[in-house]
Structure formats: structure tokens, C-alpha cells
Amino acid sequence: MLLDVEKSADKLLNKTCIVGLSYFDVKGQLLKQSMLGGQVIALDKENGITIELANAEKEKNKTSVKAKKPAQFIIPSNLRCWFVAPKGEFHTSEHQVKMVNPDYLVTWDIHQTKADKADLEQQWWQWRPNTVPPQIG
């Protein structure tokens, strides 16, 4: 059953998640994969789900007044790809931030929609939710 973002706000808001992203070219060839982690800070059916990304600097500087404001990442509001995470330790791919026992695992396939683009032309991507629970290990 597809969950409504607004009705699920109490279940997702302030929860932690690991987000796995797989990028594909127009021929379906894998371009890259990345894993992000953070805390859900906003949910909007139209604009998506905003995740405040965890970062190593924030963890090191919890008492520092000058700590950088964490980056945010917005994913589509489709909840079919949100699964309860198994207990364990996860590491993000960008900054190797360690997240212990996140609440959810989320995975998306992101497909390039056009092979060639002019220098100043916007590149478009289509987000497809992975509705099968991710395999860990």
C-alpha cells in the first residue's frame, strides 16, 4: 500500500535514513552509485522529502559555534522505496560518515533521459523507486 506523505509525517519526520542512489545512462549502463545518510527534516507531497545530511564535521564539532550548516538533499515523495533498516553500522560514500542503526533504507535508480545535450542545456533525469527491499551484506 502506498503511504501518503502528509499522513506519514509523524512516522518519518526526524527519523534517520540511508539513501542509496544508482545513476544510469540512457542505455541503462550504470554510471555511478552513492550512499547518503541523514535525518528527515521536512515532508511535502509536491516538493519531496528533505533530508539533512549527516557529515563528519558536524559530529566532530557538536560544541563548536562555527560548525557548518549541514547540507540538505531532497528526494521524491514516493514512499514505496522506504524500508525499515536492519540493525547495523552504515558508512556514506562521500565523506564516510558512520550511521549506526538508522531507521530506514531508501533506494532509487536515477536514469538519464537524453544522451546528447548542448553546452548550456539542462540535463534531465528520471527517478525510479526501488520497491524491492535492498540486500545488505
pLDDT one-digit tens code per residue, 67-125: 578 899 999 999 999 999 999 999 998 778 999 999 999 999 999 988 766 666 677 89
Model pTM above 0.85: no
Q: What are phi and psi of 60, to 5 degrees?
A: -70, -35
Identity of residue 8: S
The distance in angstroms from the start CA to the end CA of the chain is 27
Neighbours of 95 (CB within 10 A): 13
Using DSSP, state whether 57 is helix, strand or coil: helix
Confidence of residue 2 (pLDDT cuts 50, 70, 90): very low
